[in-house]
Amino acid sequence: MRGLLKWKSVGHAGTLDPAATGLLIVLFGDATRRATEFSSLPKEYCGTIRLGMETATDDLEGEIIAEAPVACDESAIRTALAKLTGDIEQVPPAYSAVKVAGKRSYKLARAGRAVELPARRVSLYHFDLIGYRAPELEFRVQCSAGTYIRSVARDLGRDLGCGGTLAALRRTAIGPYRVEQALDLSEIQRRRAEFAAS
C-alpha cells in the first residue's frame, strides 16, 4: 500500500492470522496515530471449526496432536456455544504474537520451548451456529478485541469431548466497518491506475 499509493506513513489496525481472510483497516498519514482506537473495536468473524482433532497451532497449519471420534449432535454444539458466550477466561494459542519475557510466543513455540500463557478475559457477544455437517461446523461470532478465534475453536472442541481446531476464518466487521464496504488490493490498483491515467 505504501508503494502503490506513495504514502510514507502507513499502518494497520489489527493483524489477521496468515490463513485468515477478510477486513483489515489500513491507516495513512496522521490517521496512523489512531491505530489503537480502531484495533480496540469489537470484531465479527465467520468461519469453520473442524471437530475431532487438536493441532499445535489450533488451526490446520499445525501438526495434529490429538484425535477423537465426533459423536455430538447440533443440540450439544448449541449448548457448548452458549457456554462460551459472554465474558470468558481464554488462554491464547501458544503460536500467537503474545509476548513472553519480551519474546513473541510463536517464536518460542517454533524453537520447541514449552509456552504457558496466562488466561485473559475476553467477551463473546454472540456465538451462533450457522450449519453443521460432521465433523465441521460453520459459525458466526461477535467478540471483543483481543479474542483468539483459534482458542475458541480449541475450547469448543474440548467442551464437546472430541477436540476442535479452526479450519477457516474470515473477519467480516470491525466495529461499524464491514468487509462489504472494503476494497481488495486489485480494486485499489485499478483505481490507482485510472487516477494516474486521468
Residue 17 identity? D
Contact between 88 and 121 under an 8 Å Cβ cutoff? The reply is yes
CA dist., res. 160 & res. 157, Å (int): 5
Partners of 103 in beta bridges: 100
Q: Phi then psi for 72, rounded to 5 degrees?
A: -90, 150
For the chain, give percent helix, strand, coil, nearest 5.
30, 35, 35
Contact between 21 and 169 under an 8 Å Cβ cutoff? The reply is yes
For the packed helices 149-160 and 74-83, what is the interaxial angle rounded to 10 degrees? 130
Residues with catalytic function: 17
